[in-house]
């Protein structure tokens, strides 16, 4: 079993420090051990007291762990003062093969100082050369470099300055900037290369312990054998999900912690879903299909589809439809990709990404269409899906994309029953009436049902509305494809 040693202070509120480290390490499936450097009286409102452990005790803890249990990576957090810093550096010299992630903790999220000002030089001198990665935030980088950081360019310059102080690699965390994105800058000193890691900034006050959690996640991935850049990327993804999952949770009166065990929440949600699914309540996919039955009948009996089944459809009309479909599916695949990016369940994310990659076939990708030839129905449909994907929740997006699945599958199944022999359009009918497509409908329907079951009443209503509107736009798509109406005809 892979092991990570965290050398850091204790947070009695359990949102940061070794408590956050152990939660992170455990949630990623590794074994966490500790060497405690300080005991803090701390909660979500701030730090009320700090008592440092003796340097002798810190050394004994580190030696006790490394001489018996060992470590595949080490994370260093709050050390506090020079004596502890020096003893940690001295002890780790005998274990130089173990990768070290140094989070130079100086100030808590609340603004309380956690490291004595006089200790900064000792930290730089003794530990920067030993660390595989140093992870300061904006405030810590300013203190280390004795400069004010106000811009992205200042961040780059700070990384270079920190590297000149002995740090091999730097991840300067820019999440404290007031912007819509959280951008961290990675700098590799040896090759003098930069890499940017950007994610959407989640608007929440529950960010206590983010620095501790990120650094211990990086250490955990290094322990698993990942490269440094890969470890940073995976740790960023982990922390993003932990913050997102904690958006609405209420712990204390101030800055609450992140949700370290967000992956476990998905497992609990899955079993809850299975429990709910076995109840007598009607599934959304079935209920919503019943609500558009009369609309589907109009699509089925539409001259385009009846002539398609009889093989009598004008081939120019079919070619016009295929061009419209190419435009639609090009955007539809983008919408599915955006839906996948918002999915919380990794397995469902993979399935939706698979759909996104498969709906736009190589044959369709060769079909070109000028924007002036798009039908009004097609334009309205694609715009509705794109707007929903950009501005709405995953629940609404899933409800908006599903009618295309179910209507095409049901239509092809019904048309196959009346299709004539040697039908020139048989390949289209066979594609959407295939067992593979039926399985995809089943999978997407199950995803939709789970999202509906977990949603509140307001979101459920939005899902119902999105489903019905998409279904009406399906009919408009068929109608305009048959009549040949073009957007610029109006």
Model confidence over 105-127: pLDDT tens digits?
876 555 556 666 678 899 999 99
Q: What angle do CA 105, 108, 112 make, to 5 degrees?
A: 115
Between the CA of residue 436 and those of 358, 430, 433, 448, what are the distances in Å? 11, 11, 8, 18
The residue with greater pLDDT, 145 or 198, is 145
Q: Residue 280: what pLDDT?
A: 40
For the segment 263-283, the average pLDDT, to the nearest whole number, is 54
Domain boundaries, the chain: 3-259, 269-489
pLDDT at site 200:
77
Q: Provide the annotated active-site residues.
A: 173, 207, 209-212
Q: pLDDT digit string (tens) for 404-414?
A: 999 999 999 99
Domains 3-259 and 269-489 fall in the same CATH topology: no
Q: Residue 397's pLDDT band (boundaries 50, 70, 90)?
A: very high
Return the C-alpha torsion angle 359, 363, 364, 366, nearest 10: 140
| Structure confidence at residue 362 (pLDDT) | 45
Q: Give the confidence band of 75 by pLDDT, cuts at 50, 70, 90.
A: very high
- Length reported for the chain: 490
- Give the separation between CA 209 and CA 239, rounded to whole angstroms: 10
Out of 26-40, 110-124, 223-237, 312-326, which region has the weakest mean confidence (pLDDT)?
A: 110-124
pLDDT at 373 (0 to 100): 83
DSSP 8-class letter at 107: B
Round the average pLDDT of the chain to a whole number and report it: 88
Q: What is the pLDDT of residue 107?
A: 63
- Of all residues in the chain, the percent with pLDDT exceeding 90 is 62
Task: Check residue 363 and give its pLDDT.
Answer: 52
**For range 283-304, the mean pLDDT:** 90
Model confidence at 247, pLDDT cuts 50, 70, 90, reads confident
Closest-CA residue to 326 (of 368, 354, 355): 368
Read off φ and ψ for residue 382, nearest 5 degrees.
Answer: -65, -40
pTM: 0.57
- In the predicted model, is pLDDT for residue 277 greater than 60? no
Give the residue-averaged pLDDT of 305-317. 94
pLDDT at 372 over 80: no
Q: Domain 269-489's class?
A: mainly alpha
Lowest mean pLDDT, pick from 32-36, 318-322, 361-365, 434-438? 361-365
Q: In the CATH scheme, what is the homologous superfamily, with its name and number, of domain 3-259?
A: Ribokinase (3.40.1190.20)
pLDDT given at position 190: 86
Is the pLDDT score of 316 beyond 80? yes
């Amino acid at each position: 079993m892979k092991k990570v040693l965290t050398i850091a202070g204790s947070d009695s509120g359990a949102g940061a420090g070794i408590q956050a480290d152990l939660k992170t390490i455990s949630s990623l499936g590794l074994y966490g051990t500790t060497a405690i450097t300080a005991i803090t009286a701390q909660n979500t409102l701030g730090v009320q007291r700090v008592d440092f452990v003796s340097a002798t005790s810190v050394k004994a803890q580190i030696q006790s762990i490394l001489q018996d249990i060992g470590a595949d990576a080490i994370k260093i957090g709050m050390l506090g003062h020079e004596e502890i810093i020096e003893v940690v550096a001295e002890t780790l010299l005998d274990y130089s093969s173990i990768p070290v992630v140094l989070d130079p903790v100086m100030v808590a999220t609340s603004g309380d100082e956690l490291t004595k000002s006089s200790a900064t030089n000792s930290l730089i001198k003794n530990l920067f050369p030993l660390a595989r990665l140093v992870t300061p935030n904006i405030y810590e980088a300013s203190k280390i470099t004795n400069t004010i950081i106000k811009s992205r360019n200042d961040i780059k310059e700070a990384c270079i300055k920190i590297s000149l102080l002995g740090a091999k690699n730097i991840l300067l965390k820019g999440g404290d900037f007031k912007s819509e994105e959280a951008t961290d800058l990675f700098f590799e000193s040896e090759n003098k290369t930069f890499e940017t890691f950007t994610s959407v900034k989640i608007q929440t006050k529950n960010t206590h312990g983010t620095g501790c959690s990120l650094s211990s996640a990086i250490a955990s991935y290094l322990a698993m054998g990942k490269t440094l850049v890969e470890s940073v990327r995976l740790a960023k993804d982990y922390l993003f999900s932990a913050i997102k999952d904690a958006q609405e949770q209420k712990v204390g009166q101030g800055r609450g912690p992140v949700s370290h065990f967000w992956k476990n929440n998905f497992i609990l949600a899955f079993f809850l879903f299975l429990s709910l699914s076995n109840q007598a309540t009607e599934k959304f996919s079935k209920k919503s299909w019943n609500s558009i039955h009369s609309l589907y009948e109009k699509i089925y009996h539409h001259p385009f589809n009846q002539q398609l089944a009889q093989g009598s459809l004008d081939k120019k009309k079919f070619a016009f439809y295929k061009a419209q479909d190419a435009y639609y599916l090009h955007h539809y695949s983008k919408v599915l990709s955006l839906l996948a990016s918002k999915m919380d369940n990794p397995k469902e994310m993979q399935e939706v990404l698979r759909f996104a990659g498969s709906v736009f076939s190589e044959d369709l990708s060769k079909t070109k269409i000028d924007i002036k030839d798009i039908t009004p129905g097609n334009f309205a449909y694609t715009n509705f899906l794109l707007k929903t994907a950009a501005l709405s929740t995953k629940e609404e997006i899933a409800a908006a994309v599903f009618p295309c699945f179910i209507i095409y599958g049901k239509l092809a199944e019904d048309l196959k029953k009346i299709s004539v022999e040697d039908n020139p359009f048989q390949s289209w009918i066979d594609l959407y009436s295939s067992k593979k497509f039926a399985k995809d409908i089943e999978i997407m329907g199950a995803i939709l049902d789970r999202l509906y079951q977990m949603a509140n009443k307001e979101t459920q209503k939005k899902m119902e509305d999105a489903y019905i509107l998409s279904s009406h736009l399906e009919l408009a798509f068929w109608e305009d494809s048959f009549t040949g109406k073009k957007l610029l005809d109006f």
